[in-house]
Structure formats: C-alpha cells, structure tokens
C-alpha cells in the first residue's frame, strides 16, 4: 500500500481544509459547510456558526435568537447542580485546571437529569408529538423517581420554577416551533399534578424545533451547560481547600 | 461595581419556607451522607463493605478482589480474581491502532497528563461495539434472555434466526468481532478456566452451542465478550455488575500508547495531509449578506 492509498479515509461534511501550496499538512483556508470560516467570523454570530456545524446550514434569524436565548438561560446550572459541584470540588482540591471542563461535561452526561436524558426526551417528544396531551396525562403515570417522561417531572418534589420562567420567557420573546408548543401544552396539563418541564426537557424541545438530531442533542446540551460550570470550578481553584472541610464523622452514617 | 449580595444572612429559617412536604427526603440528606459502601476512619482504619482494610484485607487479598468488592460488595475468591485479572490483560493491548489507544496516543502527542490520557481512553472504550465493559453488559443481557427462551423450548436455530441481520449475518453481541473473525483470546481463556478449577456452567454450555451453530452456518463464533458474558453469568454476576467491574479494563493499554507518543515529536501519531480527509459537504459558497428569515 502506498502512502497515497491509505487504508480508509475519514469522511466529513463539516469541514474542508485547503492545503498550503508548500506544505500539504498546513491548512491555508478553511470552509465550514461550504462557508469560508474567516468570512463567517466577520459576518455571522457565534450561535449562527454553532448551528451551522450541526445542521450544515446557517439558521434563520429567529432560530439563532431561539438557541441564543436558551443558551443564556441554561449557561449556568448553578453552584448546587451535581455537575457544577463536581467541577467545584475538583477546583477546590486543586485538580489540574484543564481537567475541570471534562469533569463537568462527563458528570452532566448522565441519564438522570443530564445530557443522556435530553436524548431520551428528544425521542419522547418526537414519538408523542401527534398525541393529545390531555389524554397522555390521563394514561401515563409518574415513575418512582417522579418522572412523568424523560424531560418531564418534579425537581426536588416540585415544579422547577426557574425552568418554568425560562420556558415562558422563550415563549414570549422567541419564535418557537411545533415541538416546543406541544411541550408547553403538556407541561400545562402536568401542573395539576405539581409536575412540569425540566431543564433537559426544555432543551430537547428546542433542539427538536431547530432540527438538531438526537445524538447531537447530547453533546450540544453538555456544551450549553459548560460555561457556568467551568467558571465555578476555576473560581474554586483560587479558594483555600479549607473553605469546605470534609463532612464530619457524625454526619457520615455508615451502615454496611 | 454593584453591591455584593450575601445570601448567608438573608436565608430564612427552614420553617419559613412554604413547603409541600415533598422535599423531606432532601431535607434528610442536607449536610448528611449515608453509605453502605465504606468509611475512612482517619488515623485508624478503612472499612470496605463491612471488612476492615488493615485487619481483613490488606496483604491478604489481591487488588482485583478489592476492585470487585468495591464495585459489587462481593469478596470473590482468589481464583476468580485471578481469572478476571487475566481477562483484563486481554482487554488492554498496547497497540495504538485500536480506537481507545488512539485516544491515549493522541493525548501523549499533545502531552496531556497520564491521567487525562487514561481516563479519556477508557471513556472512548465505553462503547456499544467494543471495549469489554458496556459490551459485556449487552452480551450478558442477550445471553440471559436467549437462555431463558432456550430453556422454555426455543431452538438454537430459531434464536439465531430471530437476531437482527447485518451484512447477511446475525448481529449478536458477543459473537464475531468488529475487526477479525477468530478471537485469539478464547482458547487461552478456556485453558485458564480449567487450570483455575472452573467447570463450564449452563450459560457457558449454551454459549458454546450458539457459537457452534454460528460457526457451522455463518463461519463466525464466540468472541471474548460472549465468552466473558457466559462465564460471569455462571459466576452469578449481573450485567450491570460486570459493566461496573470492567469499566476501566482497557486502561493499561491506553496508558502504554500514551507513553509511546509522549516523547515523540508533535503530531507524530498518523499526521494527515489536508487531502487525507474526504470532504463530502456543500461546495464552497459565499456567506449570505442579507438577514435570513
């Protein structure tokens, strides 16, 4: 086999690199889904290009605004979120700074309230979109973890007030699609049971409206949530480890 | 800069919150951890699943026995721990062509820490097609379900025919292998099992029967995932337990490939020309200048 006939080439629809005339390893010009990256840099927003990477087309102004609103609303899960806590515990204990982002991303990848649940919520919404929400609420029960379905349920036993406010803000200020509208109708029915929309369900609904596929939803959710977690984790690297001592023995109950 | 907001002095006492009483379980765990797994008794001892580390386990058990104890709560025999340790050896080949090891080598090439390399490579092997951890879980689930049907009277032929077909062959996790058909690890595992005194249990006999049928009709047979699945089912482990036990089983090979490329020149792991990547996306086009609607 010659070096020009390698055993299989990586294939991509996303990125074209034009080689430098003197060195084929060096990229002289880059195109993202056909658009020159430097032209995008001077004429598009970050969110435009983010959606371009996943959908291979630049979004409409309304879609860009929708995703950007969601991204800001979800930019920081807050210092009490398990994934942020993982980042903060790492930062406080002087973990290498470059590990904080992957630690947070990995933690929020879980199937219970994390990115994997976005995947399941994406499927749930797509699969039930044609169903009557009242009928669905009457025929389906909450599980033992208080989930009505992936992306829907209770948060610490109640409706998630912040996500409820964010979803209403999106409804008021953005042009949404049929998935989000159906989710809001379902959420409204769930309120009678003191249950509602969760962060992962909201993200899944909007990803569906934006044409983001199921697996892509996982990574995009992790990405959207990361900035706040990263900032919290890095902030803790500058705090003394004595800020948060290990839990005292009397509050650690061990019963083998 | 705006005035800083300190919540500490402004948080109302617990009983001033309106509560639906649904939050009681979280109230219970606020500032409190309950564990059945273990406890560090600073300056004295560590308890693992009811065993004293320094009185019962240290220098008396192998690391693999502790690994399984931590993962499952079961203190397994030295023989079974030896079997698993040998099995792990066969899951971590130091060859940087293998996907998880590519990750290790690329980490070495970028001079990350060894921990980042090994953790990332292990994450890469958390895959539905290879890696020995998630695949063991899938293979055990398939075998357990198929064996139940077999015991209820379903024939091997029907079980095989019911499997999904890919490229004209039954696609059964644990049988056949992504790259090569013959798995060089099976025979050494059979010999090891015998040497350590393990008899073939009902799941292994069933897996052998499936493998024999597949060899006869499709020139494909059991791979290490299927073999491990059958063996561990016979040892009474659940699929989830084996996933948990084996979650880092590729780690050593990843670390090896990391060290291989750490000292080499930058970009030395399979550098590519721009044209070595096949681009199939939209042709170069101008960025629209008008507002998109």
Is 0.95 exceeded by the ipTM?
Answer: no
CB atoms within 10 A of CB B213: 18
In angstroms, the CA B240 to CA B141 distance is 9
Mean pLDDT of B175-183: 70
Residue-wise pLDDT tens digits, B109-163: 999 999 999 999 999 999 999 999 999 999 999 999 999 999 999 999 999 999 9
Residue B184 gets which letter from DSSP?
T
At B5, the pLDDT band (50, 70, 90 cuts) reads low
B60-90 burial, b if ≥16 CB within 10 A, otherwise e? ebeebbbbbbebbebbbeeebbbbbebbbeb
User: Which among A34, A62, A81 is the top mutation candidate for probing chain B, defined by the most B β-carbons within 10 Å of its own β-carbon?
Assistant: A34
**pLDDT above 60: residue A216:** yes
Q: What mean pLDDT is reported for chain B? A: 92
Query: Which pLDDT score is estimated for B13?
Result: 53
Residue-wise pLDDT tens digits, B237-287: 999 999 999 999 999 999 999 999 999 999 999 999 999 999 999 999 999
Fold classified for B134-245: Cytochrome p450-Terp; domain 2 (1.10.230)
Residue keyed to tokens 């999904």: B164
The answer to whether B68 touches B245, Cβ cutoff 8 Å, is: yes
In angstroms, the CA A47 to CA B238 distance is 45
Distance from CA of A101 to the nearest CA of B (A): 12
Mean pLDDT of A82-106: 98
The answer to whether A51 touches A67, Cβ cutoff 8 Å, is: yes
Residues of A in contact with B286 (CB under 8 A): 35, 39
Domain ranges of chain B: 37-76, 134-245
Query: Which pLDDT score is estimated for B24?
Result: 83
Residues of A in contact with B25 (CB under 8 A): 157
Residue B48 gets which letter from DSSP?
E
Residue keyed to tokens 């482990």: B237
Q: Which residue has the higher pLDDT, B159 or B290?
A: B159
Query: Which pLDDT score is estimated for A145?
Result: 86
Give, in order, the Cα–Cα distances in Å from B98 to each of A12, A101, B94, B102, B135. Answer: 21, 26, 9, 6, 16
Mean pLDDT of B17-27: 70
**pLDDT above 70: residue B188:** yes
The encoded tokens of residue A194 equal 């003191």
In angstroms, the CA B149 to CA A134 distance is 39
Phi, psi of B171 (to 5 degrees): -100, 90
β-pairing, A152-153 with B169-170? unpaired
Residue among B207, B203, B211, B114 nearest B170 (CA): B211
Mean pLDDT lowest for which of A235-239, B11-15, B79-83?
B11-15
Mean pLDDT of A53-57: 97
Residues of A in contact with B34 (CB under 8 A): 253-255
In chain A, % of residues over pLDDT 90? 95
At A252, the pLDDT band (50, 70, 90 cuts) reads very high
The answer to whether B253 touches B95, Cβ cutoff 8 Å, is: yes
Residue A43, class by beta-carbon neighbours within 10 Å (0-12 exposed, 13-18 middle, 19+ buried)?
A: middle
**pLDDT above 50: residue A2:** no
Query: Which pLDDT score is estimated for B280?
Result: 97
**pLDDT above 70: residue A134:** yes
Residue B55 gets which letter from DSSP?
I
Nearest CA in chain B to A34: B284
In angstroms, the CA B262 to CA B117 distance is 10
At B20, the pLDDT band (50, 70, 90 cuts) reads low
**pLDDT above 80: residue B42:** yes
The encoded tokens of residue B66 equal 């502790």
Residue among A171, A156, A158, A157 nearest A202 (CA): A171
In angstroms, the CA B58 to CA B37 distance is 17
CB atoms within 10 A of CB B274: 19
β-pairing, A252-254 with B33-35? parallel
Residue-wise pLDDT tens digits, B59-90: 999 999 999 999 999 999 999 999 999 999 99
Residues of B in contact with A80 (CB under 8 A): none
Considering only CB atoms, B274 lies closest to which of A13, A18, A156, namely: A18
Query: Which pLDDT score is estimated for B289?
Result: 79
In angstroms, the CA B257 to CA B94 distance is 6
Distance from CA of B24 to the nearest CA of A (A): 9
The answer to whether B146 touches B239, Cβ cutoff 8 Å, is: no
Query: Which pLDDT score is estimated for B201?
Result: 97
The encoded tokens of residue A20 equal 């430098």
**pLDDT above 90: residue A20:** yes
Give, in order, the Cα–Cα distances in Å from A78 to each of A88, A227, B14. Answer: 11, 11, 21
Considering only CB atoms, B36 lies closest to which of A43, A157, A256, namely: A256
**pLDDT above 80: residue B180:** no
Residue-wise pLDDT tens digits, A180-189: 999 999 999 9
Q: Going by C-beta distance under 8 Å and a sequence separation of 6 or more, which residues neighbour residue B52?
A: B45, B46
Query: Which pLDDT score is estimated for A1?
Result: 40
Cβ of B276 within 8 Å of Cβ of A6? The answer is yes
In angstroms, the CA B173 to CA B178 distance is 10
Mean pLDDT lowest for which of A148-157, A221-230, B147-156, B179-188?
B179-188
The full 3-state SS of chain A, as one line of letters, equals: CCCCCCCCCEEECCEEEEECCCCCCCEEEEEECCEEHHHHHHHCCHHHHHHHHHHCCCCCHHHHHHHHHHHHHCCCCCCCCHHHHHHHHHHHCCCCHHHHHHHHHHHCCCCCCCHHHHHHHHHHHHHHCCCCHHHHHHHCCCCCCCEEECCEECECCECCHHHHHHHHHHHHHCCCCHHHHHHHHHHHHHHHHCCEECHHHHHHHHHHHCCCCHHHHHHHHHHHHHHHHHHHHHHHHCCCHHHCCCCCHHHEEECC
Considering only CB atoms, B271 lies closest to which of A25, A99, A254, namely: A25
Considering only CB atoms, A60 lies closest to which of B123, B275, B293, namely: B293
Distance from CA of A59 to the nearest CA of B (A): 7
Q: What mean pLDDT is reported for chain A? A: 96
The encoded tokens of residue A205 equal 């609904």
């Amino acid at each position: 086999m010659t070096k020009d006939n390698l055993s299989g080439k990586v294939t991509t629809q996303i990125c074209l690199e034009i080689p430098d005339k003197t060195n084929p390893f060096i990229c002289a010009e880059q195109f993202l889904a056909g658009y020159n990256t430097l032209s995008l840099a001077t004429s598009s927003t970050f969110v435009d290009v983010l959606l371009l990477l996943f959908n291979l087309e630049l979004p409409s102004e309304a879609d860009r605004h929708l995703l950007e609103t969601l991204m800001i609303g979800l930019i920081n899960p807050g210092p009490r979120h398990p994934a942020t806590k993982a980042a903060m515990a790492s930062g406080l204990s002087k973990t290498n700074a470059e590990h904080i982002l992957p630690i947070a991303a990995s933690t929020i990848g879980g199937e219970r309230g994390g990115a994997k649940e976005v995947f399941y919520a994406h499927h749930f919404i797509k699969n039930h979109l044609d169903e009557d929400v009242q009928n669905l609420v009457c025929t389906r029960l909450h599980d033992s973890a208080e989930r009505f379905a992936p992306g829907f349920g209770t948060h610490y036993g109640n409706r998630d007030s912040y996500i409820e406010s964010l979803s209403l803000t999106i409804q008021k200020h953005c042009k949404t699609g049929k998935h989000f509208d159906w989710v809001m109708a379902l959420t409204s029915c769930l309120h009678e049971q003191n249950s509602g929309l969760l962060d992962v369900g909201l993200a899944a609904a909007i990803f569906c409206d934006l044409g983001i596929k199921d697996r892509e939803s996982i990574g995009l959710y992790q990405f959207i949530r990361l900035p706040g977690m990263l900032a919290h984790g890095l902030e803790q690297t500058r705090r003394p480890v004595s800020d948060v001592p290990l839990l005292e023995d009397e509050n650690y109950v061990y019963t083998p | 800069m705006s005035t800083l907001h300190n919540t500490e002095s402004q948080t109302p006492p617990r009983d001033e919150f309106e509560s639906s009483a649904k939050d009681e379980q979280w109230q219970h765990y606020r500032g409190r951890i309950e564990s059945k797994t273990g406890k560090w008794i600073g300056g004295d001892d560590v308890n693992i699943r009811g065993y004293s580390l320094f009185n019962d386990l240290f220098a008396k058990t192998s690391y693999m026995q502790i690994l399984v104890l931590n993962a499952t709560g079961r203190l397994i025999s030295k023989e079974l721990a030896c079997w698993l340790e040998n099995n792990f050896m066969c899951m971590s080949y130091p060859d940087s062509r293998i996907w998880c090891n590519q990750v290790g080598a690329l980490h070495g090439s970028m001079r990350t820490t060894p921990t980042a390399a090994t953790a990332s490579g292990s994450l890469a092997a958390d895959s539905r097609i290879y890696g020995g951890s998630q695949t063991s879980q899938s293979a055990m689930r398939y075998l357990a379900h198929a064996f139940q049907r077999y015991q209820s009277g379903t024939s091997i032929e029907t079980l095989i025919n019911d499997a999904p077909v890919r490229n004209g062959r039954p696609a059964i996790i644990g049988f056949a292998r992504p790259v090569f058909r013959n798995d060089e690890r099976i025979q050494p595992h059979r010999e090891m099992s015998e040497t350590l005194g393990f008899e073939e249990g009902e799941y292994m006999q069933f897996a052998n029967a499936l493998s024999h049928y597949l060899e006869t009709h499709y020139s494909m047979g059991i791979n290490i995932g299927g073999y491990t699945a059958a063996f561990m089912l016979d040892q009474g482990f659940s699929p989830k337990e084996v996933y948990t036990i084996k979650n880092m089983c590729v780690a050593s090979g990843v670390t090896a490939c990391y060290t291989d490329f750490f000292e080499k020149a930058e970009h030395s792991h399979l550098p590519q020309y721009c044209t070595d990547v096949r681009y199939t996306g939209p042709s170069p086009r101008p960025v629209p200048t008008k507002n998109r609607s």
